[in-house]
């Protein structure tokens, strides 16, 4: 069994232990035995998946209050600290999985996230991806438009499956157009939420007139009858 050097093993208290990590510390590695799950007290984390060819995918970012590392038996991704980090580690035993209230619920959430990523990667342009990513950053303080941006361009690129060049160019463009601005490197302010929503392609139904402008729609809806039915069903 893999022993996390930062925690030691076994953790005596069933519930939790507080641990701090430094920036770019590894919390656990892909392939390690999944013996703990984590709750972020402060800081930010990225989870990464490396495939056989060495391509890194940043599968998710987590911030204060989030939970990560709820894997089964073996971690399928590794987790690394993006900033200095404080977490509470919880023991994860196969036989007291009920400790985490609903195991299948957690997989379900992961599945939803993954499916969102499929939409993002399969159907969105680089500009739309970056905009959607920025909209998903955690808000800072009471102003909903100030966002925390702790990760590097490489992290963003590997999350959105783009190059750092493209990410950098797009962010520069958004700044040049006055839609966002950067404060102190690690904070991002959205000047025009409306523009961002518009660009990201995530705006609500009801703006049909925009559907065929600007951004390519290239789906091949075959069973349009069903699609119509569903739209009616939802609205």
Partner DNA sequence: CGCGAAGTTGACATCCGTCAACATGCGTGG
Partner DNA sequence: CCACGCATGTTGACGGATGTCAACTTCGCG
Binds DNA (CB under 7 A): choice among 33, 110, 127, 197: 127
227 binds a second copy (CB under 8 A): yes
Nearer to DNA, 141 or 218 (CB): 218
1 binds DNA (CB under 7 A): no
Q: What is the 3-state secondary structure (H, E, C) of the chain?
A: CCCCCCCCCCCCCCCCEEEEECCCCEEECCCCECCEEEEEEECCEEEEEECCCCCEEEEEEECCCCEECCCECECCCEEEECCCEEEEEEECCHHHHHHCCCHHHHHHHHHHHHHHHHHHHHHCCHHHHHHHHHHCCCECCCCCCEEECCCCHHHHHHHHCCCHHHHHHHHHHHHHCCCEEEECCCEEEECCHHHHHHHHCCCCCCCHHHCCCCCCCCCCCCCHHHHHHHHHHHC
Binds DNA (CB under 7 A): choice among 42, 72, 152, 177: 152
Interface stretch with a second copy, choices 6-14, 154-162, 176-184, 191-199 (CB under 8 A) = 154-162
Q: Are strands 36-42 and 85-91 parallel, antiparallel or unpaired?
A: antiparallel
154 binds a second copy (CB under 8 A): yes
Hey, what are 97's tokens? 């999985």
Round to whole Å and give the CA distance between 38 and 70.
Answer: 8
Nearer to a second copy, 13 or 154 (CB): 154
Hey, what are 222's tokens? 């075959």
Residues 92/35, Cβ–Cβ less than 8 Å = yes
> Comparing C-alpha atoms, which of 187, 205, 115 is closest to residue 145?
187
52 binds a second copy (CB under 8 A): yes
Residues 140/146, Cβ–Cβ less than 8 Å = yes
Site size for DNA (CB under 7 A): 22
Contact letters (x/-) for a second copy, 79-118, by CB under 8 A?
Answer: -x----------------------xx--xx-xx--xx-xx
218 binds DNA (CB under 7 A): yes
162 binds DNA (CB under 7 A): yes
For the bound state, the minimum distance from the C-beta of residue 169 to a second copy, rounded and expressed in Å, comes to: 15
For the bound state, the minimum distance from the C-beta of residue 201 to DNA, rounded and expressed in Å, comes to: 12
Tell which positions 113-152 bind a second copy, by CB under 8 A: 114-115, 117-119, 121-123, 152
Nearer to a second copy, 41 or 126 (CB): 126
Binds DNA (CB under 7 A): choice among 7, 126, 135, 189: 126
Binds a second copy (CB under 8 A): choice among 6, 16, 49, 198: 49
Question: For binding to a second copy (CB under 8 A), which residues are involved?
Answer: 24, 26, 29-31, 48-57, 59, 72, 76, 78, 80, 103-104, 107-108, 110-111, 114-115, 117-119, 121-123, 152, 154-155, 157-158, 161, 163-164, 201, 204-205, 211, 217-223, 226-227, 229-231, 233-234
């Amino acid at each position: 069994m893999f022993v996390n050097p930062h925690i030691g093993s076994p953790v005596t208290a069933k519930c939790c232990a507080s641990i701090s990590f430094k920036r770019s510390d590894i919390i656990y590695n892909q392939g390690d035995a999944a013996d703990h799950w984590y709750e972020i007290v402060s800081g930010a984390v990225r989870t990464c998946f490396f495939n056989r060819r060495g391509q890194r995918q940043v599968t998710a970012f987590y911030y204060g209050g989030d939970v990560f590392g709820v894997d089964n038996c073996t971690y399928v991704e590794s987790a690394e600290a993006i900033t200095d980090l404080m977490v509470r580690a919880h023991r994860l035993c196969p036989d007291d999985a009920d400790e985490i209230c609903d195991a299948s619920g957690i997989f379900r959430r992961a599945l939803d996230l993954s499916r969102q990523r499929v939409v993002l990667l399969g159907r969105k342009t680089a500009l739309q991806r970056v905009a959607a990513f920025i909209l998903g950053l955690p808000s800072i303080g009471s102003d909903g438009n100030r966002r925390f941006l702790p990760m590097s361009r490489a992290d963003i690129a590997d999350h959105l499956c783009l190059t750092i060049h493209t990410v950098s160019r797009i962010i520069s463009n958004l700044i040049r157009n006055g839609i966002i601005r950067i404060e102190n490197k690690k904070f991002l302010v959205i000047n025009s939420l409306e523009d961002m929503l518009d660009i990201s392609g995530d705006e609500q139904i009801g703006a049909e007139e925009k559907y065929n402008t600007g951004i390519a729609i290239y789906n091949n809806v075959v069973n349009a009858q069903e699609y119509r039915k569903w739209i009616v069903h939802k609205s």
